[in-house]
């Protein structure tokens, strides 16, 4: 039984009361911010996260939903790949080790310069160059070189055949002039002053406060009808909920229970999107407790995933046993799901010699079954999931000490302490699984932070990346899940549904299955450039 219902009640009821009080008074924007004006060509949104930078080579807008940049391709609402800066489909060589991409003509960057093959080549060469230190290099491990083909195409050469390669070409393209001086990409001016071809340009970024976007009138897809967008950064969920309920914002992202409460009180539209956005407990192999296979296997059976979905996510989510979401049923292996089985968890621990002590905490050879679990302190969903996980683990005799921290304190400890980690996408989850669980990515930042290593998992993921067609790829992804279930390296908990409230003053909203990346670049506003004011 998930021990979280009381905590959920304690959030939602006082919030609803606060919203009623807030609704009786005129909304007062914080200093430096602007409330909705009633002008349908402007919009004010609130986001719980502020980006560290706006550089696509450092991962900004990696799934193709950036408002500042376009990739060669982007995904539509049905997750199908569509040309963006590409002029059509990529053409593979017979062995699928080269792909030629035709380029869209007549496109201009925000600075007025013309888009061409030299920009694509410069962007991807910067990704490939070790001295440039582009963090998205791990997204294209198969890429060896990129070359211009005349004035209207580029060719990508791969180290091995990769049938889904066009799906890796969603990262934003930079002007070649921005990249010509060399040096680490973390030092580029575009970190804070983006220059792209996207539907919006940056007018102002007040760190810790707000960001203002202006429509790119020369956008190749047509000038957006919503001309000015202000994004206010407000990290606290309850504060954001109260302020949007008071009329200060046209929309925001909220935890599911809060979103339902705000929508019910304010009359704003509730937008609930399914996602491939998992939350998992990353277990480090450098820790003597979490490195033990019996501990990991027992924890996967001790947690009540459905209880977490029902109590903490207000039903807006799905249980998760691995990174493959049910949005892609052809890749899901049903036999790899973990059931809630406390008795089975206890049996595994007993057989492995983890005996209960007088305080209920198990121990073996003088080592207590105890470890620390970190989570970002401002993230209420991760906090609540951490508490539920710790409660279920304690019932199995495993003591989990919770620590809510800032990312600057979390990152140096990821190799030795457990972490509530988020990630996932519905476009290429097999590749995302390779990044997260393949041994070659051990301790590569948030890729495999616990240094999990399993030869059978590696072999299946390698085969999936090199599969000659979709059917073979799907089979290898299912094989990966079977191998992982036999020796899990993490405890996947849930796929978190994303919940938003939005003022229903525009046409153009289209529901979409979302990746981990969300906030105002995804959600209802993923296609904001297509929205028009309601008549």
Residue 37 — very low, low, confident or very high, per pLDDT cuts 50/70/90? low
Taken in order 439, 441, 447, 451, the sign of the CA dihedral is positive
Residue 535 — very low, low, confident or very high, per pLDDT cuts 50/70/90? confident
Distance of alpha carbon 526 from alpha carbon 65, whole angstroms = 6
- The residues facing 318 across adjacent strands are 495
pLDDT at residue number 62? 83
Residue 35 — very low, low, confident or very high, per pLDDT cuts 50/70/90? low
Helix (H, G, I), strand (E, B) or coil at 479: helix
How confident is the model over 92-111, as a mean pLDDT?
97
Highest mean pLDDT among 38-42, 64-68, 123-127: 123-127
Residue 182 — very low, low, confident or very high, per pLDDT cuts 50/70/90? confident
* pLDDT at 20 exceeding the cut of 50: no
Dihedral in degrees, nearest 10, Cα atoms 128, 131, 132, 133: 90
* Residue 334, number of CB atoms within 10 A of its CB: 10
Domains and CATH numbers, the chain: 31-50+207-272+499-533 (3.40.190.10), 56-185 (3.90.76.10), 278-496 (3.10.105.10)
The dihedrals phi and psi of 305, each to the nearest 5 degrees, come to: -65, -45
* pLDDT at 6 exceeding the cut of 90: no
Residue 9 — very low, low, confident or very high, per pLDDT cuts 50/70/90? very low
* pLDDT at 223 exceeding the cut of 60: yes
Q: Name the least confident of 2-11, 285-294, 356-365, 468-477.
A: 2-11
**Across all residues in the chain, what is the average pLDDT?**
92
CB burial of residue 189 (10 Å; 0-12, 13-18, 19+): exposed
Distance of alpha carbon 532 from alpha carbon 25, whole angstroms = 30
Q: Which two tokens stand for residue 442?
A: 């051990």
CB burial of residue 36 (10 Å; 0-12, 13-18, 19+): buried
* pLDDT at 508 exceeding the cut of 50: yes
Question: At CA 158, angle to CA 155 and CA 163, rounded to 5?
Answer: 95
Q: For residue range 184-214, list pLDDT tens digits in order.
A: 999 999 999 999 999 999 999 999 999 999 9
Q: Which two tokens stand for residue 8?
A: 């959920």
pLDDT at residue number 510? 96
How confident is the model over 522-529, as a mean pLDDT?
93
Are 419 and 407 a contacting pair, CB within 8 Å? no
Q: For residue range 364-410, list pLDDT tens digits in order.
A: 999 999 999 999 998 999 999 999 999 999 999 999 999 999 999 99
Distance of alpha carbon 367 from alpha carbon 349, whole angstroms = 13
């Amino acid at each position: 039984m998930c021990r979280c219902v009381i905590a959920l009640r304690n959030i939602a009821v006082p919030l609803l009361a606060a919203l009623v009080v807030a609704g009786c008074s005129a909304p007062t924007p914080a200093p430096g911010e602007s409330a909705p004006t009633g002008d349908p060509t402007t919009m004010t949104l609130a986001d719980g996260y502020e980006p560290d930078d706006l550089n696509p080579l450092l991962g900004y807008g990696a799934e193709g939903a950036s408002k500042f940049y376009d990739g060669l391709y982007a995904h539509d609402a049905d997750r199908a790949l569509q040309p963006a800066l590409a002029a059509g489909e990529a053409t593979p060589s017979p062995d699928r080790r080269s792909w030629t991409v035709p380029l869209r003509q007549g496109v201009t960057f925000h600075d007025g310069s013309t888009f061409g093959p030299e920009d694509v080549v410069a962007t991807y060469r910067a990704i490939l160059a070790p001295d440039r230190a582009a963090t998205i290099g791990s997204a294209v491990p198969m890429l060896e070189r990129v070359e211009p083909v005349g004035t209207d195409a580029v060719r990508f050469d791969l180290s091995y055949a990769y049938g889904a390669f066009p799906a890796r070409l969603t990262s934003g393209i930079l002007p070649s002039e921005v990249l010509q001086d060399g040096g680490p990409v973390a030092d580029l001016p575009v970190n804070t002053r983006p220059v792209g071809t996207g539907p919006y340009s940056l007018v102002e970024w007040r760190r810790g406060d707000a960001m203002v976007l202006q429509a790119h009138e020369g956008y190749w897809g047509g000038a957006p009808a919503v001309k000015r967008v202000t994004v206010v950064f407000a990290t606290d969920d309850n504060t954001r909920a109260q302020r949007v309920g008071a009329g200060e914002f046209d929309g925001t992202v909220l935890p599911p229970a809060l979103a339902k409460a705000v929508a019910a009180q304010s009359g704003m539209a509730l937008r609930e999107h399914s996602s491939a956005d998992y939350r998992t407990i990353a277990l480090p192999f450098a820790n003597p407790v979490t490195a033990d296979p019996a501990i990991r296997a027992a924890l996967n059976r001790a947690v009540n995933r459905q209880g977490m979905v029902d109590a903490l996510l207000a039903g807006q989510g799905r249980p998760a046993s691995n990174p493959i979401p049910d949005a892609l049923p052809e890749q899901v292996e049903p036999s790899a799901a973990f059931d809630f089985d406390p008795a089975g968890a206890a049996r595994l621990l007993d057989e492995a010699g983890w005996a209960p002590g007088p305080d209920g905490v198990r121990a073996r050879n003088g080592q207590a079954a105890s470890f620390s679990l970190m989570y970002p302190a401002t993230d209420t969903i991760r906090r609540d999931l951490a508490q539920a996980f710790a409660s279920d683990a304690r019932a199995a005799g495993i003591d989990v000490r919770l620590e809510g921290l800032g990312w600057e304190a979390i990152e140096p400890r990821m190799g030795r302490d457990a972490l509530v980690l988020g990630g996932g996408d519905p476009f290429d989850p097999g590749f995302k699984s390779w990044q997260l669980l393949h041994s070659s990515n051990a301790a590569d930042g948030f890729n495999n932070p616990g240094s999990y290593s399993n030869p059978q998992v590696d072999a299946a993921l390698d085969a999936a990346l090199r599969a000659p067609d979709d059917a073979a790829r799907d089979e290898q992804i299912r094989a990966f899940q079977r191998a992982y279930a036999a020796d899990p390296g993490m405890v996947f908990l849930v796929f978190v549904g994303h919940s938003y409230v939005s003022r229903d003053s525009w046409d153009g909203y289209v529901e979409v299955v979302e990746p981990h990346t969300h906030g105002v670049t995804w959600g209802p506003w993923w296609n904001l450039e297509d929205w028009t004011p309601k008549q």
